[in-house]
Amino acid sequence: MHILQELLFIIIAALAIWLFYKKSGEIRRNILLGREEDLSGNEQQRWRNVLLLAFGQKKMFRNPLVAVMHFVIYAGFIIINIEVLEIVLDGMLGKHRLFAEPLGTVYAWLINAFEFLAVGVIIVCVAFLTRRNILKLKRFISKDLNGWPRSDANYILITEIILMCLFLTLNASDTLLQQRGYDEYGEHLTGNFAFSQLLHPLLNGLSNSSLVAVERACWWLHIVGIFAFLNYLPYSKHLHIILAFPNAYYARIKPMGQMHNMPEIQKEVL
């Protein structure tokens, strides 16, 4: 049974990565249609831009509250998905919480940090959905946003909520099975996690087999959802989540508006 699951996972992962690679190649070809420009040098300033503009979301801080909420989603998207590495390796090797034993107490600390971020992402996504669709703030009722732009933003926010809920439910069912010492779940005792333990009362009445079904369903839906999200990004305005980093690094360092002297114009003036 484990071998079949491993094969299925490898097939799904390979297909998702191939599709993303293929679409990324198309985007790269379009970018390379532009004229070449030497944007090397000033590495220190460029890395500073990556930290402040791409990861730090500096431009968003004109409105501090919105900026903090945007940063929570952005940081959550990037940092929480570190745990995808463990899921991928678990899926390929047929393991369960592969990093739990080698990381020891650090593992529980990491998952707890991820859960804080997950809850933060859920709260902020609900707030953004409310701002866009219920409060209908002035900037969100423009006719320019009708159709795909509005739907795209909603799809992203709803998907993030679902992925975070699956992550928390996965942890809740897993830790319950650990406490019961059931099968391979009892091999690595991670202890309860910050927020997923609040779901224990809802799941505690389930039998071991039903609890395993919940855990496996959340595991599969979580990782397949991430693969699907990965392949949706190139078609979405949220592709900037990925492109923000190279864009910040390769941005022009020269002052805005500075132009190269044009010999033809200089000759006319002289």
For 138, residues 6+ apart whose C-beta sits below 8 A from its C-beta are: none
CA distances from 72 to 53, 65, 127, 140 (A): 15, 11, 12, 21
**Residue 61 pLDDT grade (very low, low, confident, very high; cuts 50, 70, 90):** low
Report the C-alpha gap between 34 and 97 in whole angstroms: 45
Report the C-alpha gap between 4 and 156 in whole angstroms: 32
- For residue 264, pLDDT beyond 80: no
pLDDT of res. 142: 65
Q: In Å, how far from its chain's centre is CA 143? A: 29
pLDDT of res. 17: 93
First to last CA, the chain: 82
CA distances from 212 to 23, 198, 204, 268 (A): 36, 18, 12, 79
pLDDT of res. 158: 92
Report the C-alpha gap between 167 and 33 in whole angstroms: 41
248-261 pLDDT, tens digit each: 788 777 766 666 66
Cα torsion 71, 117, 161, 65: sign: negative
Report the C-alpha gap between 249 and 40 in whole angstroms: 10
Tokens coding 266:
């200089």
**Residue 3 pLDDT grade (very low, low, confident, very high; cuts 50, 70, 90):** confident
Task: Quote the Cα angle for 235-141-152, to 5°.
Answer: 15
- Segment 96-109 shows an average pLDDT of 87
- For residue 270, pLDDT beyond 60: no
Q: Are 123 and 165 in contact (CB under 8 A)?
A: no
Report the C-alpha gap between 60 and 189 in whole angstroms: 41
**Residue 141 pLDDT grade (very low, low, confident, very high; cuts 50, 70, 90):** low
**Residue 22 pLDDT grade (very low, low, confident, very high; cuts 50, 70, 90):** very high
DSSP codes joined into one string, 218-248: HHHHHHHHHHHHHHHGGGSGGGHHHHHHHHH
- Segment 93-112 shows an average pLDDT of 87
Which one has a higher pLDDT value, 43 or 176? Answer: 176
142-197 pLDDT, tens digit each: 666 666 667 888 888 899 899 999 999 999 999 999 999 888 887 778 888 989 99
pLDDT of res. 46: 82
- Segment 52-78 shows an average pLDDT of 70
Angle between helices 2-31 and 208-232 (to 10 degrees): 20
Tokens 């224990």 — which residue?
200
pLDDT of res. 255: 66
pLDDT of res. 175: 92
DSSP codes joined into one string, 96-134: SSTTHHHHTHHHHHHHHHHHHHHHHHHHHHHHHHHHHHT
